[in-house]
Structure formats: C-alpha cells, structure tokens
Amino acid sequence: MIKEDKELVRKIKELKKKRNAVILAHNYQLPEVQDIADFRGDSLELSRIAAKTDAKVIVFCGVYFMAETASILSPEKKVIMPDTSAGCPMANMMNADDLRKLKRKHPQSVAVGYVNTSAEVKAELDYCCTSTNAIAVVNALRDKKEIIFIPDKYLADYVSKKSGRKLISWHGFCPTHVKILPEDLKRKKKFHPKAKIMVHPECLSSVVALADVVLSTSQMGKYAKDNPAKEFIVGTESGLVYRLKQDNPDKEFYPASERAVCPNMKRTTQEKVLWALEELKDEVRVSDDIRKKARLAIERMLAIA
C-alpha cells in the first residue's frame, strides 16, 4: 500500500476550493485518485453529475470520451483532464466516416452508439447508450425496423440476445475486457464455489454466458451491496475491486483476471490532478456544431433511462 501523501492531498483540496472545481473519477481510476474525488461512478452517473454540477471547473479523471461527454453536457464549464493522452482504444476503433458509411448502407436504420465513442461519432448517432441502459434504449426502439449498434461487438451481442433484436454491429471491442477468459472464471469459481460471478457486458460472449449477472461498474456495486452473498468474482477492469471492498468491507471480491487492467485509466495520478488544478489545463472542448448534434443523442438516452 502506498503511503498517502497528506501534503499533496491538502494542496489538491485547497486548490479545488479556490478554483470552484469538482473532481469526478471513473470506477477504474487508481485508488489514490478515487480517494480525492468528489464523485465516483460509471459512465452514466458521471455524465449525469457533469450535467448537474454548479462547479465552474470539472476535473475529469477517466478517459477522453468521458471528459468530452461532460463538456458536451456542460459547455459553459471548463472541463479539464489531468492527462489527455488517456484515450479509450475501443472508442478509437470507429470514426465518424466509418459510421456515415454504415448508415448509408442501411438507410432505414436508426443509429445507437455506446458512450465509448468520440464526440464526432456521437454527432452521427440518433441515440447514445451506456452499459447501464443499452438494453432499455434498444427496447425503446420497438417500432424501428433496423438498428445499428456500435462500436462494441460484444455489447451488441449481449444486447441483441437480451432484447431479441437483430443488431447491425461494428467490429470494436475493449482490449482490457477481452483479456478475461472463460477459463479464468472457471478457475476462480473452483477456488470460491460460493462466489457470485458479475461481469461487464464488454466481456467476451463466452464469458458473459458463465456469469450470474451482467452489469455496469456501478450496478456491480449495488448488486454486491444488496445481495446476501459474501463473495464475488469481478469480471471487469480490476480497479473496481478497490471501490467494492471499500463499500462492502465485510465481503470478499476476487478479480476474474489480474490481466484486466486498462492502462489508460491508470494514467491519472494525484500529482497530475494537482498540476491540472494549478494550470487549469488541459481543457477538453467540443466544437459547437458537433456538440449540439452529439448532445441530442445523449439527451435522448437520458430521457429513456
């Protein structure tokens, strides 16, 4: 365990107040970053907080598309990232041109896209969705003949099975979640036979098939709290285990695979948060035309969920 740097934490708190800033951290962030955050959450929760906060500055500890989403929802606020090189490889697997071509191939379709996409891709979408509400969004489109669902092929497969809808998908995936293999779950289950298996829908379909429940990161937190089970195998990025343990000190959590670490989520450190607050950068902004279109897709999602 790294010793807490009290002086650094004190400086961050002081500067945060002075700047009228709020620190948002995704559930996969390093423990030291989660510890200084005002709010921790999954993609949907963080978008909602970003849309509501009165703070002037949002320090976003997560990956680039998440900070972009915050800026889309709160353009009057300054959204800064402690490390803008923290991207999401899945989001980078499809660009706006790819989506335009796919839409041209399926002119009757409605386009639904995971929040793990760039602002330019979101601007081409009819609906955005997150892992929390993907099934609800697709279910709300009963009257639509064809549905494009991008960019994650595993999330698309899961949503298609749950909704009974055939979806036109893309070949994107999360390089971190695909590291979790069915053998990992079987091995962990052998050692912990009473443990409930929770997995994220970005996992391989063969992994999803072995799960007791398929949930977003914050939904996993709620499930672990409400479920009488004392042990849980966690099939997502291993950073979530820190939060799960903190929130449920009487329960045990085993990462499905120690290999499931998102290097981009680990780029943010306390030092970088302090520098970001000192210099009020790097700012993440989305041009007005893209922002207005992308916002529509996000608002349609928020209206459904």
State the residues that interact with ligand 13P by CB under 6 A. Answer: 27, 42-43, 116, 130-131, 174, 200, 202, 216-217, 237
Closest CA to 192 of 253, 245, 246: 253
Site string for ligand SF4, 207-246 (x = CB under 6 A): ------------------------------x---------
Identify the residue among 117, 132, 176, 238 touching ligand SF4 (CB under 6 A). 176
> What tokens appear for 36 in the block?
């200084």
* Cα gap 163→145, rounded to integer Å: 14
Q: Does the footprint of ligand SF4 cover residue 27 (CB under 6 A)?
A: no
Q: Can residue 53 be called a binding residue for ligand SF4 (CB under 6 A)? A: no
Residues 6+ positions from 264 with CB-CB distance below 8 Å: 63, 85, 86, 87, 88, 89
Q: Which CA distances in Å does 5 have to 29, 36, 125, 245? A: 17, 11, 44, 22
Q: How far is CA 86 from CA 91, 92, 176, in A?
A: 12, 12, 14
Strand partners, 109: 146
Which of these segments, 122-130, 173-181, 221-229, 270-278, binds ligand SF4 (CB under 6 A)? 173-181
Binding-site member from 23, 73, 88, 148 for ligand SF4 (CB under 6 A): 88
The nearest distance, CB 45 to ligand 13P, in angstroms, is: 8
| CB 116 to ligand 13P: min, Å | 5
Beta-carbon count within 10 A of 6 CB: 8
- The DSSP H or E segment spanning 293 is helix 288-304
Q: Which does 83 bind (CB under 5 to 8 A by kind): ligand 13P, ligand SF4, none?
A: none
Give the residue with the Cβ less far from ligand 13P, 74 or 216.
216
Interface ranges with ligand SF4 (CB under 6 A): 63, 88-90, 116, 174-177, 202, 237, 262, 264-265
